[in-house]
Structures are given as structure tokens and as C-alpha cells.
């Protein structure tokens, strides 16, 4: 069967998305309502088998009903980890739906069991939470009112993520906005997901609201889809479930099942056997995908109730034995998250077993640190070293769509040279094709014959390129050269040292992923009224490039007059070159790429 979440499928989906920029469906009492059946593409983020269950809010495909035990199947119809992404500029958003089970649990509030949670991400990539007024009747309704409709950059709204309930099924869901407001549902994300197979703790017990379940916190921290296959009381590393998990093309597999195994497995030998066989099965199908095994996090009442403590301790000893056995077998890409790294304490749990919101954050922090180590995606201490996506000019182009086009193109066409940049590169020419081209003739003359691919994104800053590098844009290709020209959009926000250190961080991330490519760092091009600062900054960039042992070239000097000021005849606006400016840059860059 085809692998879920394939890049090619998502690229086709995105083309549909562009065509459905407004809400279809019905207008009622001044509101326009969107329903799942209105979408023509897979839109449920966190769902691995969407092709088998269009607009159905469940976690396992229908064919799993005859494969897994009934409790697992029933729990899979609860919507933990599922979310809907959309773009809107509405000042008010209403969500209404029905649930299939009990609204609340004795140890978990209705807002977590049956509620939804709305987060928005601004154009600079920062998450914000919206608080809704809610009612739990026959139809559950959330109203998010008095929302800031737009960001400073544009009037086209922002991206939202609506998390669905953690311990209930959902039906008859609708999202409404005032008539005339923009509303566009987004497709599933294209990058490979983190896949979590676990227990009630992974499913979300006992978070106060869906956004506080640790897999959802982790998804925001890594800005990557996390598929939640946590089954309350039933995370038992069963062959039938492992086989389904194994169908997913994951970035990382997380196995976090110990709390349920100690209650259901008869012997410690059987527990170790299930761990070993699960890892072997995944490794056989996914020879290079990292696998993370997680310790039991312990019981906070263990001191005063000493009969409990040995259970978790023995489980972790058994995991350690299995881990050692697999390591001795030279199973590659195997990692372990320990109880010490999770770091729970007596204030982190509701009932001694299930985390409260503080405990969920501890889990998410521990997983983020471990996964960033595994994926080699460190985060620095300054903004230019923090990977972030952006949405600053959606009226001109779709940033996420261009990113997905890069992923798809990498799968189908090799390239010798990768040219990373911002709008100046984006507007030049080459693939992926776009409607912003200004320097097509010079690109065709000087760069096309060298198989240069245009990795320029309008309005990008250093931290946005870092996000793109972390999110697979350099995967699947083996370029001979990588050219970097980024930083001009950081000038009004960051000091020269922050820009230089951000570029150093970026160079290191690129070298780690493409160790055989020759990296050339271009000086920042001159811009009107900042010629002096750019010249001084470029000297610092050159020194940094020397220390990092990468090449440095300042081709932008050709755009200056003899007195060091901008040659306005080569620019359209004091920043972006016109066709004549691109002609000069093309000659210089072609010379650099040919090693002349």
C-alpha cells in the first residue's frame, strides 16, 4: 500500500487548497459554516491513514476493526492528537459538534475529555492560545470572540490549529465565522511525522485541555506533526498494533508503553520479549528511522505506598535489559528516554500515575530535548538560532506551499547547486516556478546550465531558513555546492553579532546534513541607506566563514558605485535588483560556481 503522509500526495493536496480559498457551505444567521465533507483533500492533521477514511475523525483505519482488540479499536475512535489547521481573519470563530461518550471523567475535566483548544500562529511563527467560552450540552459549542483578525504584515488572517478532544469521539463538527470573513482549511502537513505508540499518558490523561497533552505540546515545540497512538490502558506493544504503526513513514518512532505492560504482561521475560520484537519489526521495515524507547515515569505516591514503587522500577530494569540486548545485536538508531530525563515529581500528577498540565510540560520538554538530539536540530539562545516558519506575504506567495514544492522536487529531480536566499533569490528565476520572476534571462544564461535550484523564499530571515533545513529541504538530494545569501531581513531586528552567530548556526546545520557539499557564503547585498552597515557586517561574516572553513564571496559589491553608495540604476526599490542588477549578479555568481 502507499505510504501515508507522502510528500507527492501532499503537494497535489496543496493545489486543491489554493483553489478553495473561501468557505464553501452554508450561511446561517450571519455566519458561514464549514463542514468536513466540504473539503476535497485530507485535512485532519495527526491522522496517518486519511486516504482510507476521508473526513472521519478517528486514529486507526477501518480495516483495523477486525485486527486489533475491541478496547483498542474503541479508543482509536477518540480524537486524541487530531487537529484541523485553517487560515482565517475572522474576529470570531465558533466550533460546534457532538461527542460520542461521557463528557467528563472523575480525574479529568470536560475541557480535556470533550473540549477543543484553539491556537494561532502569527506571521513571524510565534504560537498564541485563544480562550473560548464553552457549553457542554447535547451539542458542545465553543465561541472564540474578540479575536485580533490580522497580523501587522497583511489583512489575510493567520493560521490556526484546532485540537480535538482527547477522550471522546466527535461527529457533526462545524466551524463558523461571520459571513464575509476569510476561512480556508489547510491540508495535512507534508513532512514526516513523529509517531507515538503509548498509553493513557500519551493519549492525554489528565491534561486540562487538548493543547496541554504532551504530544500536542511537542508538536508545537518541534513544529512538526505528531501522530498520537496512545490507547488508555491498552498500550501493550501488541503485534497487530505494531504492524499498523509500521505502515507509517515516520521521522521517529516513539514506543512509550511500559505503564500498561506491567499491568497486563504475565512475566518480565514476556515484557522484554515484546520490546525486542517490536523494535526488530520496525527496524526490518524502516532500517534508518530512529526508534526511541521510553522509561516508566514512576509513581508519585511510591514512598507512602511502597507496593507500587517496585513495579515501575522493575519495568525500567526490563527495558534496560531489552535495550542492551538490541544494542548488542547492533540494531542502529536506537535511543532511550530515561525516568531521570523525564523528571516527574509529586506536583506533576493528578492521581500518582497521570500527569497534570505541569507533568505534561515536563514530558514535552524531555521529549523535545531528546528528539532534537536525535534529529540534530539544536535551538540556540538568540532569535537567529531558533528555527521558525513565517507567513509574512501570503498575498504574493504561499510559504508552506513553496516548502512542500521543494520537498516534492527533491524526490523527482537531482540538482548540482542549491541556492538559499530570500526574496532577492526567490525573484530571480529557476525551479520551483513562481510568479515573482524578475531576472529570468540572467538565470537562464548563467545559472540554469549549472543545475542551480532556487531555494529562495520571500521575506525569509536566517531563522526561517534554519526551519526549512530542519524540515527536510536538504533531504533526498546530493548537491555539489550550496550557496547561502540570507540576513538582509534581519537587519532591522538583530545586531550584527546576532546575524553572524545565526549564520554560523545555519552553516553548521547545513554542513551536518550535506557534509560533501562545498558551501559558499555570500555577503549580504547592499541596500539603500545601509551601505556602511552592510559593508562592516560583511567583514564579520567573512571572518566567520573563514573560521568555519567555508568559502566567502561578496558578489553584491558590483551593485555599488565607486563612492560606496547604491547604484540605483540596478535596483527597483533600493533593495531588490532589477533585470540589469540580476545580470551583473548572474555573471559574478556563475564565475564563483565555476570556480573562476
**Domain 397-594 in the same topology as domain 191-379:** yes
Name the 3-class secondary structure at 225: coil
The string of pLDDT tens digits covering residues 519-534 is 999 999 999 999 999 9
Average pLDDT over the chain, rounded to an integer: 93
The string of pLDDT tens digits covering residues 65-117 is 999 999 999 999 999 999 999 999 999 999 999 999 999 999 999 999 999 99
The string of pLDDT tens digits covering residues 455-510 is 999 999 999 999 999 999 999 999 999 999 999 999 999 999 999 999 999 999 99
Q: Which of 466, 476, 429 is nearest to 450 (CA)?
A: 429
184 - beta bridge partners? Answer: 87
**Dist CA 486 CA 506 (whole Å):** 10
* CATH match of 397-594 with 3.40.50.300: no
Q: In the numeric block, which cell numbers belong to residue 553? A: 564571496
* pTM of model > 0.85: yes
**Dist CA 424 CA 405 (whole Å):** 19
The answer to whether residue 2 scores a pLDDT higher than 70 is no
Q: For the CA atoms of the chain, what is the radius of gyration? A: 26
Q: Regarding the domain with residue range 27-187, which homologous superfamily does it belong to in the CATH classification?
A: Galactose-binding domain-like (2.60.120.260)
* 113 phi/psi in degrees, rounded to 5: -70, -45
DSSP string over 534-580: HHHHHHHHHHHHHHHT-EEE-GGGGGB-TTSSB-GGGBSSSSSB-HH
The string of pLDDT tens digits covering residues 15-70 is 334 333 344 445 566 999 999 999 999 999 999 999 999 889 999 999 999 999 99
In CATH, the number for domain 191-379 is 3.40.50.1110
Q: According to the model, what pLDDT value does residue 259 have?
A: 94
Q: Given pLDDT bands bounded at 50, 70 and 90, which one contains residue 305?
A: confident
Q: According to the model, what pLDDT value does residue 486 have?
A: 98
The string of pLDDT tens digits covering residues 223-252 is 999 999 999 999 999 999 999 999 999 999
Q: In the numeric block, which cell numbers belong to residue 177? A: 465565522
**Dist CA 123 CA 401 (whole Å):** 15
Domain boundaries, the chain: 27-187, 191-379, 397-594
The string of pLDDT tens digits covering residues 494-508 is 999 999 999 999 999
Amino acid at each position: 500500500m502507499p505510504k501515508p503522509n507522502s510528500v507527492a500526495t501532499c503537494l497535489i493536496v496543496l493545489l486543491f487548497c489554493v483553489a478553495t480559498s473561501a468557505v464553501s457551505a452554508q450561511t446561517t444567521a450571519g455566519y458561514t459554516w464549514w463542514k468536513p465533507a466540504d473539503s476535497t483533500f485530507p485535512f485532519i492533521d495527526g491522522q496517518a491513514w486519511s486516504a482510507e477514511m476521508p473526513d472521519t475523525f478517528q486514529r486507526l483505519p477501518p480495516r483495523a476493526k477486525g485486527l486489533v482488540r475491541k478496547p483498542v479499536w474503541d479508543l482509536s475512535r477518540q480524537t486524541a492528537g487530531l487537529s484541523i489547521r485553517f487560515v482565517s481573519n475572522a474576529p470570531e470563530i465558533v466550533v460546534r459538534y457532538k461527542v460520542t461518550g461521557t463528557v467528563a471523567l472523575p480525574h479529568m475535566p470536560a475541557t480535556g475529555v470533550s473540549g477543543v483548544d484553539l491556537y494561532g500562529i502569527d506571521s513571524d511563527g510565534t504560537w498564541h492560545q485563544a480562550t473560548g467560552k464553552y457549553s457542554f450540552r447535547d451539542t458542545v459549542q465553543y465561541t472564540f470572540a474578540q479575536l485580533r483578525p490580522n497580523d501587522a504584515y497583511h489583512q489575510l488572517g493567520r493560521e490556526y490549529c484546532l485540537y480535538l478532544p482527547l477522550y471522546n469521539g466527535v461527529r457533526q463538527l462545524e466551524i463558523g465565522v461571520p459571513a464575509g470573513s476569510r476561512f480556508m482549511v489547510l491540508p495535512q502537513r507534508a513532512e514526516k511525522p513523529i509517531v507515538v505508540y503509548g498509553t493513557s499518558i500519551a493519549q492525554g490523561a489528565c491534561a486540562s485541555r487538548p493543547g496541554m497533552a504532551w504530544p500536542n505540546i511537542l508538536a508545537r515545540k518541534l513544529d512538526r506533526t505528531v501522530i498520537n497512538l496512545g490507547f488508555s490502558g491498552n498500550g501493550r506493544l501488541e503485534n497487530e498494533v505494531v504492524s499498523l504503526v509500521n505502515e507509517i513513514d515516520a521521522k521517529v518512532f516513539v514506543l512509550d508503553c511500559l505503564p500498561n505492560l506491567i499491568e497486563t504482561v504475565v512475566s518480565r521475560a514476556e515484557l522484554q520479549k515484546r520490546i525486542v520484537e517490536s523494535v526488530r519489526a520496525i527496524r526490518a521495515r524502516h532500517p534508518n528511522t530512529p526508534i526511541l524507547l521510553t522509561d516508566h515515569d514512576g509513581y508519585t505516591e511510591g514512598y507512602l505506598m511502597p507496593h507500587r514503587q517496585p513495579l515501575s522500577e522493575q519495568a525500567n530494569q526490563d527495558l534496560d535489559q531489552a535495550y542492551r540486548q538490541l544494542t548488542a545485536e547492533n540494531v542502529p538508531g536506537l535511543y532511550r528516554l530515561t525516568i531521570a530525563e523525564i523528571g516527574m515529581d509529586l506536583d506533576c500528577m493528578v492521581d500518582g500515575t497521570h500527569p497534570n498540565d505541569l507533568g505534561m510540560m515536563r514530558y514535552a520538554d524531555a521529549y523535545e530535548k531528546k528528539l532534537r538530539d536525535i534529529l540534530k536540530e539544536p535551538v540556540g539562545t538568540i532569535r537567529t538560532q531558533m528555527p521558525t516558519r513565517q507567513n509574512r506575504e501570503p498575498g504574493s506567495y504561499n510559504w508552506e506551499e513553496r516548502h512542500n514544492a521543494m520537498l516534492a522536487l527533491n524526490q523527482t529531480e537531482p540538482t548540482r547547486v542549491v541556492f538559499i536566499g530570500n526574496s532577492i533569490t526567490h525573484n530571480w528565476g529557476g525551479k520551483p516556478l513562481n510568479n515573482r520572476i524578475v531576472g529570468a534571462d540572467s538565470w537562464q544564461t548563467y545559472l540554469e546550465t549549472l543545475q542551480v535550484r532556487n531555494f529562495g523564499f520571500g521575506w525569509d530571515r536566517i531563522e526561517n531558513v534554519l526551519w526549512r533545513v530542519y524540515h527536510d529541504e536538504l533531504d533526498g538530494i546530493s548537491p555539489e555546492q550550496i550557496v547561502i545569501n540570507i540576513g538582509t531581513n534581519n537587519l532591522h531586528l538583530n545586531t550584527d553579532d546576532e546575524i553572524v552567530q545565526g549564520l554560523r548556526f545555519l552553516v553548521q546545520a547545513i554542513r551536518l546534513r550535506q557534509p560533501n557539499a562545498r558551501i559558499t557564503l555570500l555577503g549580504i547585498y547592499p541596500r539603500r541607506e545601509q551601505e556602511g552597515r552592510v559593508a562592516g557586517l560583511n567583514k564579520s561574516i567573512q571572518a566567520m566563514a573563514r573560521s568555519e572553513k567555508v568559502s566567502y564571496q561578496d558578489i553584491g559589491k558590483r551593485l555599488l558605485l565607486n563612492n560606496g553608495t547604491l547604484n540605483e540604476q540596478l535596483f527597483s526599490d533600493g533593495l531588490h535588483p532589477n533585470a540589469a542588477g540580476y545580470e551583473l549578479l548572474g555573471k559574478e555568481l556563475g564565475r564563483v560556481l565555476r570556480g573562476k
